[in-house]
Amino acid sequence: MPIEVRFIGAIDLRFLPFRVTVFRLSLALAITAIFMSFAIEPIRDRRERLLSIADRYATSAAEYQSSGTRCQGQLRADLLRIGAWHRHMADQYEFAADRLWITPPPIMMFPPKGWNPPAAINLSQQ
């Protein structure tokens, strides 16, 4: 004989067209969990994709920074600026990876005209 649940909190379940049993509640929970796992999969894929892009930007930033420290003059300043751009983009993608409501920036390999590194990065002393 199944256990019949009549009240959940202040909701009267006597008017439902079926009996609410523990088995039916468990079945509804299992079906909901299956559907939720399918709903979460694109979110997980998005996060992994954004973190992969951030990792590529970080690798490029390290390469530009190391190349820039071995050069002289304007080439050095340009390489360090591009390296700072890649580090900035890596930070943007890492930030957007955990926040669904933030649209990630478009992929750009070089900084736009007029972009200056954040004030925390001093290119002249690197």
Supply the pTM of this predicted model. 0.63
**pLDDT at residue 74 above 70?**
yes
Q: Which residue has the higher pLDDT, 1 or 17?
A: 17
Strands 7-8 and 11-12: antiparallel
pLDDT tens-digit profile of 10-46? Answer: 566 666 677 778 888 899 899 998 888 888 777 788 8
Domain ranges of the chain: 7-125
pLDDT tens-digit profile of 80-100? Answer: 888 899 999 999 999 999 888
